[in-house]
């Protein structure tokens, strides 16, 4: 009889870089570079179950949107979060569905890029961001839809600049800054 042994860990690593681009400029300035984030415990459990359940009881759950928030000041994400600490609702503030995706199977790297334009999120103090999936993790609303979270010092968003976010999820298990 064959016994499969698995561990509860998924050695995926996420890093986030944030760029500020002044209106009228062709140059972006990196304000946070390759900062490690927390992939949520529920997302890791879902991915592990997709790889080990037979027959499969779960469906793939693609990342489809992002959200920003103002509750990340002096808070350290643990991975147990199911939502941002203080989400800024996208309705009327920003379009959270404009998400560029790039996949490199060779490098086992998924890159998600999104932007708050000069017209979006103004007057907000942004200090956290997360990527979100289409459905609830492990099929339960109590698990939320957040894939990962990153907190950082606040950025006072105004119409004088855009903020670009580049999020890399590395599934190779090797951290390459």
Q: Are 112 and 65 a contacting pair, CB within 8 Å?
A: no
Please, what sign has the CA dihedral across residues 170, 102, 90, 157? positive
The boundaries of the domain holding residue 163 are: 13-170
Banded pLDDT at 174 (limits 50, 70, 90): low
Report yes or no on 137 lying in a domain. Answer: yes
Give the model confidence (pLDDT) of 88-146 as tens digits: 998 878 999 988 999 988 888 999 999 999 999 999 999 999 999 999 999 999 999 99
> Rounded CA gap, 146 and 137, in Å?
8
Report yes or no on 1 lying in a domain. Answer: no
Give the model confidence (pLDDT) of 12-41 as tens digits: 889 999 999 999 999 999 999 988 889 999
State the pTM of this model: 0.88
Report yes or no on 7 lying in a domain. Answer: no
Residue 73, C-beta contacts closer than 8 angstroms, at least 6 positions apart: 127, 151, 153, 154
Largest CA distance in the chain: 67
Question: Helices (DSSP H) in 24-127: which residue ranges?
Answer: 41-52
Report yes or no on 6 lying in a domain. Answer: no
Report yes or no on 5 lying in a domain. Answer: no
Closest CA to 9 of 36, 47, 37, 35: 47
Report yes or no on 175 lying in a domain. Answer: no
Report yes or no on 3 lying in a domain. Answer: no
Provide the domain count of the chain: 1
CB count within 10 Å of CB 46 equals 23
- Tokens at 18, concatenated: 């944030």
pLDDT at 167 over 70: yes
Q: For residue 10, what pLDDT is reported?
A: 55
CB count within 10 Å of CB 119 equals 9
Banded pLDDT at 1 (limits 50, 70, 90): very low
Report yes or no on 177 lying in a domain. Answer: no
Banded pLDDT at 173 (limits 50, 70, 90): low
């Amino acid at each position: 009889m064959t016994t499969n042994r698995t561990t509860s860990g998924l050695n995926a690593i996420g890093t986030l870089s944030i760029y500020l681009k002044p209106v009228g400029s062709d140059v972006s300035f990196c304000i946070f570079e390759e900062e490690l984030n927390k992939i949520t415990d529920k997302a890791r459990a879902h991915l592990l179950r997709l790889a080990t359940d037979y027959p499969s009881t779960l469906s793939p759950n693609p990342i489809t949107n992002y959200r920003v928030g103002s509750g990340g000041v002096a808070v350290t994400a643990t991975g147990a979060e199911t939502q941002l600490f203080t989400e800024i609702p996208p309705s009327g503030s920003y379009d959270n569905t404009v998400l560029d995706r790039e996949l490199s199977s060779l490098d086992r790297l998924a890159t998600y890029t999104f932007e708050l334009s000069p017209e979006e999120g103004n007057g907000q103090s942004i200090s956290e961001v997360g990527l979100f999936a289409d459905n609830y993790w492990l099929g339960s609303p109590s698990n939320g839809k957040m894939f990962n979270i990153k907190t950082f010092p606040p950025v006072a968003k105004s119409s004088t600049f855009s903020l670009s976010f580049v999020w890399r999820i590395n599934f190779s298990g090797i951290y390459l800054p």
